Amino acid sequence: MTGKRWGVLAAATLLIAGAQPALAQNTGALTSKVELEKSVPGRDGQAATKTYLTPDVVVPGDRVRISLAFTNNGSKPASGVIIANPIPQALLFDGTDDPAGFGVSIDGGKQFAPLSELSVPIDGAVPRAATAADVTHVRWKWTDAVAPGQTRTVAFFGRVR
Does 3 have pLDDT greater than 60? no
Does 18 have pLDDT greater than 70? no
What is the structure's pLDDT at 157?
Answer: 98
**Helix (H) / strand (E) containing 4:** helix 3-18
The residue-averaged pLDDT of 90-94 equals 97
What is the structure's pLDDT at 133?
Answer: 97
What is the structure's pLDDT at 26?
Answer: 65
DSSP for 13-45 reads HHHHHH---EES-SSEEEEEEEEEEEEE--STT
pLDDT in tens, 49-58: 999 999 999 9
Please tell me the pTM assigned to this model.
0.82
